[in-house]
C-alpha cells in the first residue's frame, strides 16, 4: 500500500489501517482493496501464499506471527471460526513484507483457501490435563474433515501441514477426504511432528551440555505416547518445519525433516513419521529408519501396534 498526500492525509490512512479489529464485512472490504490474487508482499517481493486454519488459537497465533516474519511468505491468510479479525489486525502490524488477510467462519473458508501454496492446520481443541491426544478425536476429526474438504475444493495442489491432534488419526482422515475428492497426493500431506524433534534435541542437549541448535535427533513413528520414538543412536543437524516446506517449494536442495507421512517403504503401516526430503512437490523422498539399537527396536514394535489402531480409526471415520 502506498501512502501518498500530505502529512494529515497520511496519518488518517495509517490510522485507518491500524484499527484494532475489524468486523467480517470490514475485513472483507480491506482484503478486496488489497487485491486477493496478489502474491507479492509489501515492497513487491514474490513469495509463497500460506493459510493458517485455526489462526486465533494458542498454536495458530504464534505460528501466524512466525509466518509473518518468514521472508519466503508474501501472502498470509488467517482463518478461524472466532477472533480472526483481531488476530489479523495484530499480526498485520508486524513490519515485515507479507500481506496479511483475515477470514472468519465457514462462509469465508473458500476465500481463505483459494490459490494457497501451503495450508497449515492447527484448528481444533487441545487436550486438558488427564486427557490423551486420542480423546480429542471426537471433536477434531469432524473439524479436520471439513477443512480438508475445503482444501480439496479450493487449493488441491497445496502442501498441507496437519497439526491438529490426534495427528496419528487426523492425517489418515485428511488422506481419505482427499482420496474421495480425487485430489490425494501422498507427497503433499504432512503430519507435523517437529515438536518431538525439538523436544528430543533440547533434552539431549541438556544431558550432554550442548547447544540444542547443534543437536538433531530423528524422531520416528507417530505423534502420541509410545508412537513417539526418538532414535537417540542417530544424530544430525537441525531446521524448522513450515519454513522447511517453503524452502523445499523454492527448490532448495537437501531439506530434510521428520514428518508423519504416507510411507509403505519404512514399515508395513500406511503412515509413519520418519525423515523425509522436502522439495517442490512435497515429501519427495521418504528415508528408511537406518540402524536401530535394541532399545529402539523394542520401542518400534510398541509404536507400530498403537499406530495401526490410530490410523485405522481415522480411515474408518471417513469410510464408515
Ligand X SMILES: O=C(O)C[C@H](O)C(=O)O
Ligand Y SMILES: NC(=O)c1ccc[n+]([C@@H]2O[C@H](COP(=O)([O-])OP(=O)(O)OC[C@H]3O[C@@H](n4cnc5c(N)ncnc54)[C@H](O)[C@@H]3O)[C@@H](O)[C@H]2O)c1
Binding site for ligand X (CB under 6 A): 126-127, 133, 165, 195
Phi/psi of residue 167, nearest 5 degrees: -50, -35
- Is residue 57 part of the contact set for ligand Y (CB under 6 A)? yes
Q: Could you tell me the smallest distance in angstroms from the CB atom of residue 121 to ligand Y? A: 8
When asked if residue 60 is in the footprint of ligand Y (CB under 6 A), the reply is yes
Could you say which of 18, 82, 208, 210 contacts ligand Y (CB under 6 A)? 82
70 is known to lie in a ligand binding site: no
56 is in an annotated binding site: yes
| Residue 164 known to bind ligand | yes
Q: Decide: helix, strand or coil at residue 58.
A: helix
The answer to whether the peptide bond before residue 166 is cis (omega within 30 degrees of 0) is yes
The listed partner (ligand Y, ligand X, none) that binds 77, CB under 5 to 8 Å by sort, is none
Among 27, 50, 53, 269, binds ligand Y (CB under 6 A): 53
Q: What is the dihedral of CA 66, 67, 71, 77, to 10 degrees?
A: -150
Min separation Cβ 167 and ligand X, Å: 7
User: Interface residues for ligand Y in 86-125 (CB under 6 A)?
Assistant: 122-125
- Given the residues 17, 77, 93, 223, the one annotated as active site: 223
Instruction: For residue 77, indicate whether it is catalytic.
Output: no
Helices 84-92 + 58-68 axis angle, to 10? 30
Looking at beta carbons only, is 64 or 92 nearer to ligand Y?
64
DSSP code string of 107-144: GGHHHHHTT-SEEEE--SPPPPTT--GGGGHHHHHHHH
**Choice between 59 and 116, CB closer to ligand Y:** 59
Short-list 173, 138, 195, 155, CA closest to 270: 173
- Give helix 24-34 / helix 84-92 axis angle, nearest 10°: 40
Report whether 97 belongs to an annotated binding site.
no
User: Distance between CA atoms of 168 and 58, rounded to whole angstroms?
Assistant: 21
Please identify, using beta-carbon distances, which residue of 41 and 63 lies nearer to ligand Y: 63
Binding characters for ligand Y, 6-45, by CB under 6 A (x = yes): ----------------------------------------
**Any idea which residue has 509463497 for its cell?**
48
CB-based burial label for 268 (10 Å; 0-12, 13-18, 19+): exposed
Letters for 183-212 (x = contact with ligand Y by CB under 6 A, - = none) are ---------x--x-----------------
Q: Cα separation of 284 and 247, whole Å?
A: 13
Polymer length in residues for the chain: 320
**Least CB distance from residue 155 to ligand Y, whole Å?**
16
- For residue 206, the minimal CB distance to ligand X (Å) is 18
Cell of 49: 501464499
Catalytic positions, please?
Answer: 223
Amino acid at each position: 500500500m502506498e501512502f501518498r498526500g500530505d502529512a494529515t492525509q497520511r496519518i488518517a490512512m495509517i490510522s485507518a489501517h491500524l484499527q484494532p479489529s475489524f468486523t467480517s464485512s470490514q475485513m472483507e472490504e480491506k482484503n478486496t482493496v488489497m487485491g486477493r490474487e496478489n502474491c507479492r508482499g509489501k515492497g513487491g517481493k514474490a513469495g509463497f501464499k500460506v493459510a493458517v486454519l485455526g489462526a486465533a488459537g494458542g498454536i495458530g497465533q504464534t505460528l501466524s506471527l512466525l509466518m509473518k516474519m518468514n521472508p519466503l511468505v508474501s501472502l498470509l491468510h488467517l482463518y478461524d471460526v472466532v477472533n480472526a479479525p483481531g488476530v489479523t489486525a495484530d499480526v498485520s502490524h508486524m513490519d515485515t513484507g507479507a500481506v496479511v488477510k483475515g477470514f472468519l467462519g465457514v462462509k469465508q473458508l473458500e476465500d481463505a483457501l483459494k490459490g494457497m501454496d501451503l495450508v497449515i492446520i492447527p484448528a481444533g481443541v487441545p487436550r486438558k490435563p488427564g486427557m490423551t491426544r486420542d480423546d480429542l478425536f471426537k471433536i477434531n476429526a469432524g473439524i479436520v474433515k471439513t477443512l480438508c474438504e475445503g482444501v480439496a475444493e479450493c487449493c488441491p495442489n497445496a502442501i498441507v501441514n496437519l497439526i491438529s491432534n490426534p495427528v496419528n488419526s487426523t492425517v489418515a482422515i485428511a488422506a481419505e477426504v482427499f482420496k474421495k475428492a480425487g485430489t490425494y497426493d501422498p507427497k503433499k500431506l504432512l503430519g507435523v511432528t517437529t515438536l518431538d524433534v525439538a523436544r528430543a534435541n533440547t533434552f539431549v542437549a541438556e544431558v550432554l551440555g550442548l547447544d540444542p541448535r547443534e543437536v538433531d535427533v530423528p524422531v520416528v513413528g507417530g505423534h502420541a505416547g509410545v508412537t513417539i520414538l526418538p532414535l537417540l543412536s542417530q544424530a544430525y543437524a537441525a531446521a524448522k518445519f513450515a519454513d522447511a516446506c517453503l524452502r523445499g517449494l523454492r527448490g532448495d536442495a537437501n531439506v530434510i525433516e521428520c514428518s508423519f507421512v504416507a510411507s509403505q517403504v519404512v514399515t508395513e503401516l500406511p503412515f509413519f513419521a520418519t525423515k523425509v526430503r522436502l522439495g517442490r512437490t512435497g515429501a519427495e523422498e521418504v528415508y528408511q529408519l537406518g540402524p536401530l539399537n535394541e532399545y529402539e527396536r523394542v520401542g518400534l514394535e510398541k509404536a507400530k501396534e498403537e499406530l495401526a489402531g490410530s490410523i485405522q480409526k481415522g480411515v474408518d471415520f471417513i469410510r464408515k
